[in-house]
Structure 1
Amino acid sequence: MNPNIIPHPGLLDTWIITAQLYKPPSARTASVWYAELVCDAAFSDDKRVLSCLEPPLQLPIPATFGDSSKCLGDLSYFSLSVGPHDARVFYGPEIPYTIYGSNSFFTCFGQWISDFRILVDWGLDTINEHEFRQSRELQRPMPWNSVEKNWFLFWDDLGQMFLHHEITPARVFSKLELDGSVGPNLALTTSASDQECLKRFLPETGKIHQATNSLAITLCARSDQFCEPDATNTFVLFIIQQKTIRGIHPVYEPYVVLMRRSMPFEIYAVSSKPTWIFGRSIRAEKSEGNSFTGLLEDTSEMLYLTSISWKSHGQKYHGFLDDTLFLAFGREDSDAGGIDVKAGDLLTELGTCA
């Protein structure tokens, strides 16, 4: 479940897949142990299936143990959790990272970061302490939520690192320090205009969640000799999701967001329509349970975006409209999938905020 795909650092036509270990429904109540799996993967002959070359291994992410008194009531089961949840694996401008959920020292359940290279056979590379060689818990401006999830890193046009915590009901993001601490919330100056833009293009139903990591994209083609990245054409790209409940079945609709790469980091554009992944099915399901009357509900297969990356080997954080992206997604909380798409196709029909 919840897959990530990044290019292998040394092998062409090979990628690294990470994903959450799937637990069948019968086992979910019997175990509180969680794990992330990893493997080198390649495409099949028909280029339709990207699969492990060898059986996957467990990522050696250590369990964390926080303050169980912060997990009260319905959240008490989080204090029993052992191991990482829903990791995101992604490239920054220089190196790969992973952010994952685990027991927190600051709240019930928080977000942690590690240099991904120490968790796999990355090959020869210099790994410095300041690159999160030691796993660190990430912090946020007050107030904390009891359960934190789906935070993502982004880098400005000077290479400084920031942490995006929330998109709604108001944006929260801050400058990240190397010990995991953060500065104040930097989103206050554009909060009203950002929310106005989101409401203009997203239906006012359901909840909005952050979904993926971020990338930087220049809105012209790499093949265009006149295309030069600058502050006017290069943005931070990430995907958010709107979650709605159809009967008893959750459905996610993904929207692309572009934000500027320098202060005040305002939202520049949002998808005017949700992204539809070819192969996602629509079906009629019969609602069940005492609170339902057995009516047929038109619903969609539950696909939820988890990560984005550039497909080409050697490409890390920045790309152009004619570069190819991997979108990785979970499917019905039991399966994993991906699709490759030109960045320009993903960014069609954007609505600009101004």
Structure 2
Amino acid sequence: MAFSFSSDYVSDYVSEYLPSFNSPRYRRQVFDDSGKQYFSLYPSRTSYKMFLKGQGRRWPLFLALTVFICTLIYFQKQLVNLPLPRIHSTLTSTTSTIGNPSNVDTPLNEDGTKTHIEVYSVSTKDRKYFHVHFGGHKTAANTNIIPHPHWNDTFIIVAQKPPSKIPRTVWFAELVCNAQFNPKNGIMECIEPPAILPIAATTGDRCNGGKIDYFSNLVGPHDARVFYGPKNPYVIYGSNGIQTACLAQWIEDFRLLVDWGTEEYEENKFRVGTELHRPEGKYMDMEKNFFAFWDKDGNMYTHYDIHPKRVFAKVEHDGTVGPDLAPLAEPLDSKCMAVRMPKLVNTKQEHLHQATNSLSITMCKRADPNCKAEESNTFVFILFQYKSYFDFHGQYEPYVMIFSQQPPFQILGISNKPIWIYGRGGPGTGKKPQGLGKKEAARWTQTEMLYVTSMSWKERGRKYHGFLDDVLFLGFGIEDEVAGGIDIVAGDLFVDMGSCFGT
């Protein structure tokens, strides 16, 4: 600040009435302006230093503290955290190209023939597979689709919820909702917000010891398979074992987990999650991909392994089982499998394993008036998969297997080629691993990875049994990121079957 006075009287006035201004705290300046003398007083730098010493030093500290407290009060009232790392919403669209390949050509053999059996959608305009969306969860995978029990053109869809962004999360869940096809884009999507399928978490001590201790921390179901039996729908899923394996397989009546309406329920028949046992009593640390099948009389069995040998047994309502029945079919099965099953060259990077649930089919068309379901023309079928893992990228090739619906349930046929779901990305479209060099990327020929998980009849009211001209849903995951499905004519799966008779 500056004070200006006329110099005629300022000297005497300052000396008499303002003696403090003669102190070093102020400096004086006299200057000419139009012939007049003026006298100015300015606070010196010494005064500012003194303000920051002694009692004056408390004022800036008090002011800073006041601002800090007001800031805290503001953030508390606004319910906003102080600046911390933020996660990105999982309910927004993704820019990933997964599930939208530019090249959908079926791979060719050296002689120009196709390596796969192609199957096409009966509903999409371009005949390709369709995407399945669970609200904003664009990365849900391992799709399951069954027709809604009450509404036409409506389906119940289930898939693995994508993992959260929480560091080292161990929580798993399955998403579920009622869904329909969107007429604008052909996507099967929820018509209401997806919910968490209320499967109870399990806990046991089977993971204690060795390398599997970590699995005891896992919470919730994973890799669920939803499917129809002859009467009711079920879900088989993985969860912590209590009586069997570290990560066991469980089964539950699906109707008790969703708004199904009123139906009759059999007492004590999978009314809660029921742990599935193996007949030999020996378990792997992580059990996966069990499927159920039914004989012509409606008796239920569990199928555990397809390779290197089959294992299956009759199952009771408490999850316990009878003896392994596969040895009864082994004399015929072993010959057929030796000829018809895909050959493994590198057993460390190539595997054969079960994939989908089972259904039964009569090998004639429903539209044919002479077609009747009989023991001689009705069989159980499944899809199993050849898995390869090279260059840090997995590929799955689904094959069809047919076996008898009567004991000893021997294998009757295996497809000569794997199934190619139209729309799957052809050579070069497989998801490239991180760190792939330019030369390796230029030579990349792997195809898009589709992992088939479920089958069901599309029409409402169809459950376990169907005919060749019925439409069938296949549900699958795409590169472990996107959920997909395709509706095909069931007979297209069986156009190139290799018979087990005569092998």
TM range (shorter): over 0.9
Partner of 1:318: 465
> Residue 87 of structure 1 is aligned with which of 224, 232, 236?
224
Q: Distance in 2 between matches of 1:10 and 1:147?
A: 37
Partner of 1:16: 156
Q: Distance in 2 between matches of 1:69 and 1:270?
A: 37
Query: 1:138-164, CA deviations, whole angstroms, 9 ceiling, x for partnerless residues?
Result: 101222112111001100011100000
Structure having the higher Rg = 2
**Structure 1 residues 289, 237: closer, same or farther in 2, change over 3 A?**
same
Query: 1:225-278, CA deviations, whole angstroms, 9 ceiling, x for partnerless residues?
Result: 111111111000110000011321110000011110011100111111100011
Q: Number of residue pairs matched? A: 351
Q: 1:198, CA displacement in angstroms?
A: 2.9
TM-score by length of 2: 0.67
Partner of 2:299: 160
Residue correspondence of structure 1 range 120-159 to structure 2 within 5 A: 120-142=258-280, 143-159=282-298
Gaps of 5+ in 1: none
Q: CA RMSD in A?
A: 2.0
**Structure 1 residues 3, 301: closer, same or farther in 2, change over 3 A?**
same
Q: Distance in 1 between matches of 2:209 and 2:456?
A: 34
Q: Distance in 1 between matches of 2:288 and 2:303?
A: 11
Q: Distance in 2 between matches of 1:270 and 1:8?
A: 31
Q: Distance in 1 between matches of 2:371 and 2:221?
A: 41
Q: Distance in 1 between matches of 2:303 and 2:184?
A: 38
Partner of 2:404: 260
Q: 1:68, CA displacement in angstroms?
A: 4.3
Query: 1:256-302, CA deviations, whole angstroms, 9 ceiling, x for partnerless residues?
Result: 11110011100111111100011111243767669xx9473310111
Residue correspondence of structure 1 range 196-275 to structure 2 within 5 A: 196-205=335-344, 206-275=350-419
Q: Is the 8 A contact 1:154 1:161 kept in 2?
A: yes
The one-letter amino acid paired with 2:157 is I
Partner of 1:336: 483
The one-letter amino acid paired with 1:170 is K
Identity of aligned residues (%): 50
Gaps of 5+ in 2: 1-140, 345-349
Higher strand share: 1
Q: Is the 8 A contact 1:7 1:14 kept in 2?
A: yes
Residue correspondence of structure 1 range 168-179 to structure 2 within 5 A: 168-179=307-318
Q: 1:46, CA displacement in angstroms?
A: 5.2
The one-letter amino acid paired with 1:65 is T
Q: Is the 8 A contact 1:71 1:79 kept in 2?
A: no
Q: Distance in 2 between matches of 1:81 and 1:211?
A: 23
Q: 1:77, CA displacement in angstroms?
A: 2.3
Q: 1:192, CA displacement in angstroms?
A: 4.6
Q: Distance in 2 between matches of 1:47 and 1:11?
A: 21
Partner of 1:77: 214
> Residue 103 of structure 1 is aligned with which of 207, 218, 240?
240
Provide the secondary structure at the position in 1 that maps to 2:389: strand
Q: Distance in 1 between matches of 2:252 and 2:334?
A: 32
Partner of 2:423: 279
Deviating beyond 4 angstroms after TM superposition, the runs of 4 or more aligned structure 1 residues are: 68-71, 285-290
Partner of 2:447: 300
- Tell me which moved more, 43-52 or 312-321: 43-52
**Structure 1 residues 46, 194: closer, same or farther in 2, change over 3 A?**
farther
Q: 1:180, CA displacement in angstroms?
A: 0.5
Q: Is the 8 A contact 2:207 2:215 kept in 1?
A: no
Q: Distance in 2 between matches of 1:157 and 1:324?
A: 22
Partner of 1:4: 144
TM-score by length of 1: 0.94
Q: 1:51, CA displacement in angstroms?
A: 0.7
Q: Distance in 1 between matches of 2:249 and 2:446?
A: 32
Q: Is the 8 A contact 1:287 1:297 kept in 2?
A: no
